[in-house]
Amino acid sequence: MRMTNLTVAGPATESLKVGAGSSRTNLHKMLRVAFEKSVAIVAFLALWELVPRLGIVDSAFLPAFSQVVASGVSFALSGQLWPHVEVSLLRALGGFALGVLTGVPAGIVLGWYPSVERYFNPLLQLLRQTNPVSLLPVFILFFGLGYFTKIAIIYWVVVWPILLGAMSGVRYVDPALIKYGRSLALSDWQLFTRIVVPSSIPSIVTGMRLAATYSFLMLVVSEMVGANSGLGYLVVNSQYLMSIDLLYVGVIILALLGVTANVLLVWLERSLTSWNLEVEN
Q: Per residue in 108-154, pLDDT tens? A: 989 888 888 888 888 888 888 888 888 888 888 888 777 888 888 99
> Where in the chain are the domains?
7-62, 65-280
| 14-18, 34-38, 62-66, 250-254: the lowest-pLDDT one | 14-18
| Buried/exposed code over 216-245 (b: 16+ C-beta within 10 A; e: otherwise) | bbbbbbbbebebebbbbbbbbbbeeeebbb
* All residues at 6 or more sequence positions from 228 whose CB lies less than 8 Å from its CB, including other chains: none
Angle among Cα 257, 228, 101 to the nearest 5 degrees reads: 50
**262 burial level (CB within 10 Å; 0-12, 13-18, 19+):** middle
Which CATH number is correct for 65-280, 3.30.420.40, 3.30.365.10, 1.10.3720.10, 1.10.268.10?
Answer: 1.10.3720.10
Residue 135 and residue 150: Cα distance in Å, rounded? 12
Residue 170 and residue 111: Cα distance in Å, rounded? 5
Q: How confident is the model at residue 13 (pLDDT cuts 50, 70, 90)?
A: low
* All residues at 6 or more sequence positions from 207 whose CB lies less than 8 Å from its CB, including other chains: 103, 107, 161, 162, 163, 164, 165, 166, 168
Q: Are 106 and 166 in contact (CB under 8 A)?
A: yes
The answer to whether the Cα torsion of 19, 22, 28, 34 is positive or negative is: negative
Residue 55 and residue 53: Cα distance in Å, rounded? 5
Element (H, E) at 8: none
For 181-222, the pLDDT digits (tens) are 878 877 778 888 888 888 888 889 889 998 998 888 888 888
Q: How confident is the model at residue 101 (pLDDT cuts 50, 70, 90)?
A: very high
**Has residue 179 got a pLDDT over 70?**
yes
What CA–CA distances, in Å, run from 256 to 154, 198, 222, 265?
19, 30, 19, 14
pTM: 0.79
Instruction: Report the pLDDT value the prediction gives residue 276, as an integer from 0 to 100.
Output: 60
